[in-house]
Structure 1
Amino acid sequence: MRARRVLLSTALFSLSLLAALSASSCTEDKQPPVENPPEQPPPPPPPLQITNPVLPGDYADPSVVRVGDEYWASATSSEWAPQFPLLKSRDLLNWEQVGHIFQTPPEWSEANYWAPELVVDQGRTFVIYTAKKKGGPLCVGVATAPSVSGPYTDRGPLVCQELGSIDGAMIRDENNKLYLVWKEDGNSRGLPTPFWAQPLSEDGTQLVGEKKAILMNDVPWEGQLIEGPHLIKRNGWFYVFYAGAGCCGKGCNYGVGVARSKKLLDGWEKNPLNPIMKNNESFKCPGHGSVVTDTLGRDYFLYHAYRVTDSVYAGRQGVLDQITWGEDGWPTINSRRGVGGQVLAKPPAWSDEFTTEMMTQGWQWPNGRKPMTSISNGVLTLAPPADRAMDMMGGVLARSSPSGNYTAVAILDRTGLGAETAAGLSAFGDPENAIVVALRGPKVELWRRQGNAQQLVTTVDAPAAGDTLHLRVTARTGYLFQFAVSPDGSTWTNVGGDQNGEFLPPWDRAVRVALTVGGAAGASARFDSLRITPE
C-alpha cells in the first residue's frame, strides 16, 4: 500500500513537472523575438586630399563633367589657339590634356573664346561656348560630339545680342524641357547683366520660344555684373552657381554666389550668405566654375582663382573644393574661407624633346597666326606664316607658365639658320607685348615689344663654338625676368640685365614661354628641346 502511494506521488510530481515545463515553453514561444539593433548607415567617404591648384597655369572658367568613372574638363583659351583644351582625369586631382574642342576656330567666329560649358544630356554631348562673331558682338555658340572625347562639330551661334551674349549653360526645367541660360553682357555698356533662360530645340542646336530674365545683379558685392551661370538640380531645387564683380587683372574682386528656386523661370532667391567664396591669403578672385558629383556621391566645385604669389602672371588657375550641403539646403564651400586644400608647393617640371612626329598636347599660338611646324629626328622646325615672316616674332609656339617662378631653357640648332633670321625664346604676353632673347647671325639680341612698339635693349656676341645655343629665361614673382645664353648649358652669359615685364599679361591672360622665329623671308628655325622648371 505504501509503495502504491509512493508511486502515485511520483507520478503526480512528474505530471506537474511536465505541465510546468510545457507552460514555460508556451510562455517562451509567445515572447517577442529579440530585435537586432538598427543598422547604422555607413560613414561618409573621406574627403579628397586636394592640393590646389589642380590645374596649374592659365585655366580660366573651367567646366567639368563625369562620364562613368572618368572626368572631363575644358577651359577658356581666349586669344590662343587651338580653342578650348580638353582634359581627362580619373580622380579630379591629376589631369592630362588629350586634345582640344576645336582644332580650327568656328568659321563664324574671330576672337574671345571663353567659357566652354561641357554638357552630357540624355547620352548626347554638347559644348556651349562664347566667341565674338566676325564683325559682330559676342555670342553663345554650341557644338556637338558623339562622346565627350570628340570629335566636336560646331553648330553655330545660338544667340548674339547687341550688348553681347556670353557664358551659356544648358539645363532641363521641371517639365524636362531643354533650356539655354546665359548672361547678357550689359556691363560692357554700364548696364545690368541679366541671366536669360530660353527654350532650346530638343536637339539643342537652336533657340525656340521666348526668353525670360531669371536673375540680375542687384546686391552690392556683385558690383557691375553677375556671370558664369552653372545650374544643377538637387532634392527638388534648381541651383545656379555664379560669379560676381570683376574677374580679371590686378584690380579683380571676383566672388562666388549661389541662388535657388523650385522652378527654372520663377521664384529665384539668392543665398543670404553670398558670396560663399572670396579671397584668402593664398588665392584671390575665385569664381566661374562648375559642379560635378564623383563616383561616391560627393559634390565638388572646379573653378578658377589667381594664386597670390603668382599674381596675374600665371593666369587664373584651376582649383577644386568639396561642396557641403547644409540642413537648410544651401551649399557652402570650405566654410566660406576661400580656396581650400593644401597649396601646391611647386608644379612639376615639363619638357618636350620632340621625340614624336606629332606635337605634344598643350602647345599654343596666337589666334589667326598658326605657325608652320614639323618634327623629324628629335628636332622641331618652326616657321612663321608667310604673311608674318618679316616680323622677328612672326612665328610663335608657346606654353602656359605654370607659376610665377620658373626657369625655361630652349636648345636652338644653329646649323642652317639664315643670316637675317631671328630665332629666340620669349616671355610672351601677346603679339604686341613680349620680351625675347634671339640669335640673329653672329649676335644675340634682347628686344622688348610693348604696345607693339619695339626696342632693342642690347646686343652681345654669340658664343663662337658649337652647333647649338642654349637660350634661357628666368622668371621671379611672375614679372621680373633675366635672359641668358650658353654654348653648352653650363657656362651662361647674361643678356640685358633685369627686365620688368609688368606690362606683359593682357587683361584676361597669363604670360607664356614661347619659341619664336622671323625677321626674314623664308625664315625658319630648328629647336632640339624646351624645358620649363618651376622654382
Structure 2
Amino acid sequence: MKASIAALSLATASAVAQYQNPVLWEDLADIDILRVDDTFYYSASTMHYSPGAPILRSNDLVNWEYAGHSVPVLDWGSKYDLDGEQAYVKGIWASFLNYRPSTKTFYWGGCIEQRQTYIYTAPAVDGPWEKHDPIDHCYYDAGLLIDDDDKMYVAYGNTQISVAELSEDGLSEVSSKQVFQGDFTIEGSRFYKIDGKYYILVTRPPDAEFVLMSTEGPFGPYTMQPLVDRVSSPIPSTGSPHQGGIVSTPNGDWYYMAFIDAYPGGRVPVLAPVTFDGQGWPTVELVNGGWGQSYPNPAVSGGAKKVKKSIGKDTFEGTSLSHEWEWNHNPDTTKFSVDNALYLQAATVTDDLYAARNTLTRRIPGPASAATIVIDISGMTDGDHAGIALLRDQSASIGIKRSGDAAKIVMVNGITMAEDWSTNNKGEEVDSADVPSGTEKLWLRAKADIDPASTGSGSFEYSTDGENFTPLGNEITFNREWQFFMGYRFGIFYYATQAIGGTVVVSEFDVAEA
C-alpha cells in the first residue's frame, strides 16, 4: 500500500510539473520578455488600442496576469482619438521593454508610424509612465540592451540591422551603425549580452527565428545561425513559432517565448526551454522535431503564485478599470466613469461601430469562450444603440436599439472594413426581438470559437432574467486573414444615432470557457 501511495504521489507530481502550450491563449504579439529579480515581465503590441503596450507579470513564466500599460494615451495625433479620423492598424507595433537597475527604471520604446521613436519611463510597471521627447529616427522593431557598464544600446531595422548607442539617460541617440545585412527579410530585434557575448534575435516572418552573435562588442561583427526554422506548432492549424525573446530564470535556466499565428484569435505565445552549446549558440528544445505541446515547469523558488485570470467575472469594483481592458482608440474620458460599475455615456453620433468612440475591448481567451454583460438600459435615449460586439475588421454584434419609448434587441452582421481600414459596410440587422415593456436590465452574450483548427465562428444570445438565454441571429464565420494583425476581441459599445445624452450601466462582464 505504501508503495502504491508513493507511486501515485510521484505520478501526480509528474503531471503537475508540466505546462501546456500556449501558456496564455490570448492575442499578445511582438513579445519582449525580461526578468527583474524573481519576477518576469512580458510586453506586447496593441496597434490602435488604448492604453497601449500591455505589461504582464509572472513568477514562473507560465501563469501570467496583466500588470499595467507602458503607454497611457496614444497621443501621436488626433486620429488616435477616433474623432472623425481613425488610426486602425497604426500605433504600437513591435517595441521594447527593459529595466535599468542603476536607476530602478523601466524603459519602453517604439517607433510610431515608421517616423519617430518614443521613449516612456516609469519606476514600476503600473506607472506612472512618463513620455519623453521623441528620437527623430525610427528604431523599427527595436530591442534594448543595458550593458554591464550601464551603457544602453538599441538593435533595430528590417533586413538591414543596425545598433544605436543611446545617451547616458537613454533618451537620445549618440551614434548608430549598421551591423548586419540579411539575405532575406529579418526584423523583430531583441538584444542581449550573455556570458560576454552579444546576441541579437531576429525573425524571418512568419516562420523562423535567427540569432546574430558577436564576441567583440555591441557593434559586431555578427554571424548568424537559426534558432528555429519552420518547426511545427503545438497548436494544430497554426503557423510556426517565431519572433519573441529569451529570458533566464534565477537559477540560470533559459527559455524562449515566441508567438504563433493563430487567426482568427490573433498571435498567441508559446514557451520552450533553451540550451547553449560550447560556442555560445542557443538551441530550442524540440519534441520529435517540433515545438512541444508540453514541457516541465520552469524551476522557480516558492512555486507558482496565484494570478488573476482572464476567465471569470469583472464587476468593475472600485473607480478604475483593470489592466485587461483597452479602448478602441483613445476614449473620451468625459463620457465614461467607473464606480463599482461601468457607466457609459454615448460619446459619438454615428451609425458606424468602427467610428464610435469609447468601445471598450478585451482579448478573447481561446480556444473558445463566451462573454456575458449585464446592462441597465433605463438611461438610453431615442436612437441609441448599446451592446457587445465580436470586433475585428469583419464584425458582428448583439445590442439594444432604442426607438422612442420602445426598445428591441438586434443582431447585426456584416460590419466590415475596406483594405485601407475605412468602413465599407455598417452591417445589416439579421434578427431582432422586442424588449418587454418596463425592462431595465438585460443580459447579452457573445460566444466565440477562435480555435484555428475549428470552423472559427461566433454567435449571440440574450436573457431577461440571467438564467434563460435565447439565441438571436445567425452563426457568423470569423475572418482568418492576417492583415489586420490583431485578433478578434469582445467589445462593449454604446453610441447615439440622433443625439448625445443617454447613459447605460454595465454592472458585470463575465467570461467563461465555451
Q: What residue is the counterpart of 1:489 in the other structure?
A: 466
8 Å CA contact 1:58–1:510 kept in 2: the answer is: yes
SS at match of 1:158: coil
SS at match of 1:167: coil
TM-score (norm 2): 0.80
Q: What residue is the counterpart of 1:417 in the other structure?
A: 380
What is the aligned counterpart of 1:383 among 345, 348, 363? 345
Rounded Cα–Cα distance in structure 2 between residues aligned with 1:262 and 1:174? 15
Give matches, 1:128-527, under 5 Å. Answer: 128-132=108-112, 137-161=114-138, 165-171=139-145, 177-184=151-158, 193-209=159-175, 211-218=176-183, 223=184, 225-245=185-205, 253-263=206-216, 264-271=218-225, 273-276=226-229, 278-282=231-235, 283-306=238-261, 311-335=262-286, 337-342=289-294, 349-370=311-332, 372-376=335-339, 378-385=340-347, 388-391=348-351, 393=353, 394=356, 395-429=358-392, 433-441=394-402, 442-448=407-413, 449-451=415-417, 452=423, 453-464=425-436, 466-477=439-450, 479-502=456-479, 507-519=484-496, 520-521=498-499, 522-527=501-506
Q: What residue is the counterpart of 2:6 in the other structure?
A: none
After TM superposition, give the deviation of residue 148 of structure 1 in Å: 4.6
Rounded Cα–Cα distance in structure 2 between residues aligned with 1:199 and 1:355? 45
What is the aligned counterpart of 2:94 among 94, 109, 115? 115
Alignment deviations for residues 431-474 of structure 1 (CA, whole Å, 9 cap, x no partner): xx421111113222222311221132324232416432111222
Q: Which has the higher contact order (CA 8 A, sep 6+)?
A: 2
8 Å CA contact 1:429–1:505 kept in 2: the answer is: no
Provide the aligned length of Structure 1 versus Structure 2.
450
After TM superposition, give the deviation of residue 126 of structure 1 in Å: 4.2
8 Å CA contact 1:439–1:462 kept in 2: the answer is: no
SS at match of 2:55: strand
SS at match of 1:312: coil
After TM superposition, give the deviation of residue 198 of structure 1 in Å: 2.3
After TM superposition, give the deviation of residue 277 of structure 1 in Å: 6.2
What is the aligned counterpart of 2:23 among 44, 54, 72? 54
SS at match of 2:286: helix
1:214 corresponds to which letter in structure 2?
V
After TM superposition, give the deviation of residue 290 of structure 1 in Å: 2.0
Rounded Cα–Cα distance in structure 2 between residues aligned with 1:350 and 1:208? 48
Range moving further from structure 2, 114-123 or 525-534: 114-123
Rounded Cα–Cα distance in structure 2 between residues aligned with 1:241 and 1:490? 51
Deviant stretches of 4+, over 6 Å: 173-176
8 Å CA contact 2:387–2:397 kept in 1: the answer is: yes
Q: 1:175 to 1:410 in 2, by over 3 A?
A: closer
Q: 1:523 to 1:88 in 2, by over 3 A?
A: same
8 Å CA contact 2:310–2:324 kept in 1: the answer is: no
Give matches, 1:83-102, under 5 Å. Answer: 83-102=52-71
SS at match of 2:458: strand
8 Å CA contact 1:226–1:244 kept in 2: the answer is: yes
After TM superposition, give the deviation of residue 56 of structure 1 in Å: 2.5
Q: 1:510 to 1:322 in 2, by over 3 A?
A: same
Rounded Cα–Cα distance in structure 2 between residues aligned with 1:338 and 1:120? 33
TM-score (norm 1): 0.77
Rounded Cα–Cα distance in structure 2 between residues aligned with 1:474 and 1:155? 41
8 Å CA contact 1:59–1:316 kept in 2: the answer is: yes
After TM superposition, give the deviation of residue 121 of structure 1 in Å: 3.1
Rounded Cα–Cα distance in structure 2 between residues aligned with 1:130 and 1:342? 33
Q: 1:199 to 1:392 in 2, by over 3 A?
A: closer
Flag structure 1 segments of 5+ consecutive residues without an equivalent: 1-46, 185-192, 246-252
Q: 1:176 to 1:461 in 2, by over 3 A?
A: closer
Q: CA RMSD in A?
A: 2.8
8 Å CA contact 2:388–2:490 kept in 1: the answer is: yes
Q: What residue is the counterpart of 2:11 in the other structure?
A: none
1:339 corresponds to which letter in structure 2?
W
Query: Percent of aligned pairs with the same residue?
Result: 23
After TM superposition, give the deviation of residue 207 of structure 1 in Å: 0.9
After TM superposition, give the deviation of residue 518 of structure 1 in Å: 0.9
Q: 1:320 to 1:489 in 2, by over 3 A?
A: same
Range moving further from structure 2, 450-459 or 165-174: 165-174
Rounded Cα–Cα distance in structure 2 between residues aligned with 1:384 and 1:281? 43
Range moving further from structure 2, 231-240 or 513-522: 231-240
1:450 corresponds to which letter in structure 2?
T
